[in-house]
Structure 1
Amino acid sequence: MSIDFSMIEEGIALITINRPDKRNAMDAEHYHGLSQAWQRVRDDSAVRVAIITGVGDKAFSAGADLKSWIGRKVELEEFWQTQKDQLLNRGLEIWKPVIAAVNGYCLAGGMTLLLATDIRIAVPHATFSVAEVKRGIIAGNGGTQRTMAQLPHAIAMEMLLTGDSMDAAAAERWGLVNRVVAPDALMETALGYARRIAQNAPLAVQAAKELAIRGPELGLAGGLRMEQMVNKILMGSADSREGALAFSEKRPARFTGA
């Protein structure tokens, strides 16, 4: 049982939550391993895009392994260690695209993880829920915030307040996932997205993601100005020159991230 990390193709990393006997729920050790995997995605220039999934055909992740957390003593000082074992859904800034391949249950912390990804592929039997209110707590790590931001108000409130599940067809209908595909097509579909992204200029891809995510905080005028500034920087890059040359020569561009 572990968090597995591998480079499956040039530019493409695969992170796998490997705890199928617990529906890929995570205890402190697995959360630590996941944090390390995210930091590698952020820091390793060889990674242009990452895919995250769970082992087996039952669950993407059921979130936190509650039994392992019950009674666990946490020192009060940890409350202010806000960067310790930071996660994608808890605020770690990763501007490389992340694709979720949802192979089953996507519950609680698994759902908040999903909400922090960029492109999402699911199998027909996948189910989605933020059922924390049924356990006397709330959906943390962005659960209340991203659910409201990414779904229509009434649909998000229904999920947050009832704790009821959403099936894959509804998730696709409401835009929670991009596509629902047969189980045997899940990873190949996710890889298809990853390959197309990895072929693009990595600096431009990261800039586009960051601006898109920061945009609501900046407002339209601020967002437009930031676009101008970032494009000014990118136009001086080797990748920008390569992109223009490849277009004129009618050939695929060879981007290096410089």
Structure 2
Amino acid sequence: MSIDLEVRDGVAVVTINRPERLNAMDADHYRGLSEAWIRIRDDIDIRVAIVTGAGERAFTTGADIKSFVANPADLSQMWLTQRDQLLNRGLEVWKPVICAVNGLCLGGGMTLLLGTDIRVAAEHASFSLAEAKRGVIPANGGTQRILSQLPYAIAMEMLLTGDSIDAATALRWGLINRVVPSNQLMDAAFDYARRIAAAAPLAVQAAKELAIRGQDVDLPTGLRMEQLVLRLLQSTEDAKEGAAAFAEKRPPIYSGR
């Protein structure tokens, strides 16, 4: 029972490791997940992250209902908004995050997926926001992100009925990028991760931030933000390395500076 974090070659792998409970998360697991995201955010040697679940049955089914619904936190905690922040609840992580869905992606698993950037799923994966069937709502971004990531009618069907869709349907609607056999899932995720890690990390993080923040501003403001960030990037060592590598017809070696 843990949140495991392994880092190699600039790629962090976060594994929700509670397969005996379909990787459902209690308060300790959410706290561990928060700590993992903070390390990914702050560690300069990490360029990209993959999040997955242990075993082959579930990515995560989200919050452990027994530990949360039956025992809600004291109301005073409602205003501790900066405590134990998550990728999909307030924490700003501009390094790309790849979601490797190895089975059930339900409730909080779905809201976690909605906070990631690239998604790969095993053929047997399924997806749902089932909270309405339990008398609650998909918090941690479920109600706030779903309409921007799926067509309105499809998003509302998932949100209001709590019914699930399979991997093929999720791919058709653009919720995920690829569907692969189960034994190829992590290879597919690492393929994305290696390609991202080979790019200039400051440029990658800037592109992600601009794309996300640009959704909340008008186009002229977004274009101006692009100009300012581009000017900053042009002064970096990585920009010089990129130009030199192109001229010398060799792969660039980026330092993140």
TM-score, normalised on structure 1?
0.98
Distance 1:160 1:173 in 2: 18
Q: Which residue of 1 aligns with 2:2?
A: 2
Q: Which residue of 2 aligns with 1:162?
A: 161
Structure 1 residue 230 corresponds to structure 2 residue 229: yes
Correspondence list, 1:32-43, <5 A: 32-43=31-42
Distance 1:139 1:153 in 2: 17
Paired positions, count: 257
Distance 1:21 1:103 in 2: 15
Q: Which residue of 2 aligns with 1:72?
A: 71
Q: Which residue of 2 aligns with 1:239?
A: 238
Q: Which residue of 2 aligns with 1:58?
A: 57
Q: Percent identity?
A: 64
> Residue type of the partner of 2:141?
G
Distance 2:133 2:73 in 1: 23
- CA gap 1:71/1:161 in 2 versus in 1, 3 angstroms: closer
Q: Which residue of 2 aligns with 1:138?
A: 137
Structure 1 position 254, deviation (Å)? 0.6
Distance 2:90 2:29 in 1: 18
SS at match of 1:90: coil
Distance 1:100 1:40 in 2: 17
Correspondence list, 1:173-252, <5 A: 173-252=172-251
Q: Which residue of 2 aligns with 1:85?
A: 84
- CA gap 1:73/1:190 in 2 versus in 1, 3 angstroms: closer
Q: Which residue of 2 aligns with 1:17?
A: 16
> Residue type of the partner of 1:6?
E
Structure 1 residue 96 corresponds to structure 2 residue 95: yes
Correspondence list, 1:92-131, <5 A: 92-131=91-130
> Residue type of the partner of 1:48?
R
Structure 1 position 73, deviation (Å)? 5.2
Distance 2:239 2:172 in 1: 37
> Residue type of the partner of 1:207?
A
Q: Which residue of 1 aligns with 2:46?
A: 47
Distance 1:4 1:135 in 2: 29
Q: Which residue of 2 aligns with 1:26?
A: 25
C-alpha RMSD of matched pairs (Å): 0.8
Distance 1:250 1:144 in 2: 47
Distance 1:10 1:132 in 2: 38
SS at match of 2:218: helix
Distance 1:21 1:141 in 2: 24
SS at match of 1:164: coil
Cα deviation code 1:181-227 (max 9, x no counterpart): 00111000000000000000000000000000111111211110000
Structure 1 position 137, deviation (Å)? 1.0
Distance 1:169 1:162 in 2: 19
Distance 1:140 1:180 in 2: 26
TM-score, normalised on structure 2?
0.99
Distance 1:40 1:141 in 2: 20
- CA gap 1:149/1:73 in 2 versus in 1, 3 angstroms: closer
SS at match of 2:88: helix
Distance 2:118 2:238 in 1: 24
Cα deviation code 1:17-45 (max 9, x no counterpart): 00001100000000000000000000000
Distance 1:253 1:218 in 2: 34
Q: Deviation above 2 Å: which 4+ runs of structure 1?
A: 70-77
